[in-house]
Chain A
């Protein structure tokens, strides 16, 4: 009796109002779904890439006679480290974006995301920023470790942040598209082996543009990863192989283009809604 009376007196719940953007939903998707899930597997997701990057640098420094530098003004380690950091950052962003979406699709929980009052654009922003955050976290830790051993001047910190952000966002978008497209894990690993690894390894991480045999420069100049690495290296060490405005324009343009594609894929539900 008294329980029923109490119930009647309670005001009926009104529908929640939001403005143009569902900020709370966006934040929850970004923090819970994207970043916290990544951090929960900290050992694998951060320590793994960090360890393998350190090994790469070690191998390079050991394999090359100490004196031979890539360019007159830099030591080998100074040349390689910004490239490795950028490469790791982008790869982690790619992995985490793709894995998030494939996991959710396979477990069927992607419906929880699609059912929530989030527009496709909000989903793209939350997932994309989440993956980018994961990449930046890993890259930041890596940079801190390397900064202990190697003299990194940081000529232009703001530009370093800008290029790091651009590179991670670009590969987060690539990762989301791959995640939406993949129906099985094979598809994801094929994309990683045949797309991301070539882009990452043939990118001037480990060698400067002058080393590339004549006629193949376009391979590097057409590779957004090369521009991301080159811009980041220019910001950290002051050494640049290619015009920076070209790189910045290419990264921003490609990221926007891929973001629009991802947004459309979510909006039409390609391989997500049956």
Chain B
């Protein structure tokens, strides 16, 4: 009773162009979401990837086989790292959005004073963090068995971040579009997995029949796996410049699409 008249009334909080605190909170929430179950989100991908490594090394590696001028296992390693990164970046954002939609707590994202751009950055940032962290953990586990060496760190980082961002944005778009878990499972099964398996992770693109090469020429997955691998082994099947800019352009387009979807409330606002 005594103190209440003396306290100043709360005024609306002032925010600049960017709601920095809100954005940070959203990002931290997205990161905590997967860190809570890190055995599922970080350790499981590592185990699965190492299993794949063992399988492919045993099945295909024997007899000093060389691909792209290096031992097969050195060729395979970076591709597998990239594969686990993209799959996890996609899984993170798509499940985050879809679970929020199904449970109805998506309003907690839409109601706060966050602009659509801030929402895209916050959620996609969580996906990128998961992708990059998974890549790091997998690389660490792999380095026990495979003598990974760094040829060009810039390419590794550029493609790791851009690939994770691309799949995080695709995951957002997929999560917004999907209405049931079936839908997102279908996208994962029929789009993400085939693309990440068939884009030169396991074989040099020279192995493709001549008239199927065009698939690689227009496939951003192929460029990012190839560019990422170049960062390790110093050999690329494709033009590095094209890959460098292609992933950037694709990300800008996807980011813009995700932004429009959230701004218009497509399948988010009734």
Answer whether A and B are interacting partners: yes
- The SS class assigned to the A binding surface is helix
| Chain A proximity of B53: nearest CB distance (Å) | 10
- Contact among B59, B182, B186 for A60, CB-based, below 8 A: B59
A265 within 8 A of B: no
Indicate if A252 sits at the interface (CB-CB under 8 A): no
The yes or no answer to A21 lying at the interface (CB within 8 A) is no
Closest CB-CB distance, B248 to chain A, in whole Å? 28
From B52, B58, B197, B208, give the contact of A55 (CB < 8 A): B197
Q: Which of B60, B182, B193 meets A63, CB within 8 Å?
A: B60
Question: How many of chain A's residues touch chain B, expressed as a range?
Answer: 20 to 34
- Taking a contact as CB atoms under 8 Å apart, the answer to whether A206 and B208 are in contact is no
Chain B CB within 10 A, most for which of A48, A55, A62, A211: A62
Known: A189-B44, A190-B40, A211-B62. A63 touches B55 (CB 8 A): no
Does A218 count as interface, using CB distance less than 8 angstroms?
A: no
Contacts of A193 in B (CB 8 A): 40, 44, 47-48
User: Assuming A59-B203, A62-B203, A63-B202, is B47 touching A197 (CB within 8 A)?
Assistant: yes
Q: How many A-B residue pairs have CB under 8 A?
A: 82
A194 to B194, CA, bound (A): 23
- Give the distance in Å from the alpha carbon of A207 to the alpha carbon of B59 in the complex: 5
Contact B182–A43 (Cβ < 8 Å): yes
Other-chain residue from A47, A70, A190, A202 in contact with B189 (beta carbon distance below 8 A) = A47
Among residues 177 to 200 in chain B, which have CB atoms less than 8 Å away from a CB atom of chain A? 182, 185-186, 189-190, 193-194, 197-198
Nearest residue (CB) in B for A48 is B189
Question: Is A198 in the interface zone, CB < 8 Å from B?
Answer: yes
Pair B48/A197 contact, Cβ less than 8 Å: yes
Could you mark each residue 34-54 of chain B with 1 if its beta carbon is under 8 Å from any beta carbon of chain A, else 0? 000101100010011001101
Q: Which residues of A have CB within 8 Å of B47?
A: 193-194, 197-198
Mark each residue of chain A from 149 to 184: 1 if its CB lies under 8 Å from any CB of chain B, else 0: 000000000000000000000000000000000000
Binding site for B on A (CB under 8 A): 41, 43-44, 47-48, 51-52, 55-56, 58-60, 62-64, 70, 186, 189-190, 193-194, 197-198, 201-202, 205-207, 211-212
Given contacts A55-B198, A59-B197, A211-B58, 5 further A-B contacts (CB under 8 A): A43-B186, A62-B208, A63-B203, A186-B37, A202-B54
Give the A-binding residues of B (Cβ under 8 A): 37, 39-40, 44, 47-48, 51-52, 54-56, 58-60, 62, 182, 185-186, 189-190, 193-194, 197-198, 201-203, 207-208
